[in-house]
Amino acid sequence: MKKMVILLISVLFFTLSVPADEVVLETSDLKIGSVKFPRAFIHDGKNYNKGVYKVTLMEKEGEFLFNIFNPADELLFEEVAIVKLRKSRIGKRKYLIRKSFMRGYEFFRIKVTKPDKVIMGYFLIGKNTTKTN
């Protein structure tokens, strides 16, 4: 019985001392394309007009970022993305992109679903805008 307890403690100790594998998020720049922001929005205290902006998703130093460009391909800003690791059912597609409003038109969300993760960017909508169709 004593040997069994010692063996169990040894196995438990060695199992816990082995470092867990790091989760590696692999991606290359994903050109989401032209995204129509249906309302004016705010980023870092600066107001941006509603309209069409070019959007890419990239990984930089272990973080996912949405890059927002004006129509002249000038980088306006980078927005840190939220990443949730999970299995998704998107079939044989490499990714699925959805755009929607959140919290009663308070945020505009870009959601990129990949087979193993969901990547989201939230953009604060300006307070003095009117609803557009």
Tens of pLDDT, residue by residue over 32-52, are 889 999 899 999 999 999 999
| Domain boundary assignment for the chain | 30-125
| pLDDT at residue 65, as a whole number | 94
Could you list the beta-strand ranges (E) of 10-62.
30-37, 41-43, 46-48, 51-60
Return the percentage of the chain with pLDDT > 70, whole number.
73
Q: How far apart are CA 59 and CA 29, in angstroms?
A: 7
DSSP 8-state symbol, 17? H
Distance of CA 22 to the CA centre of its chain: 19
The two tokens of residue 4 are 């069994």
Neighbours of 9 (CB within 10 A): 10
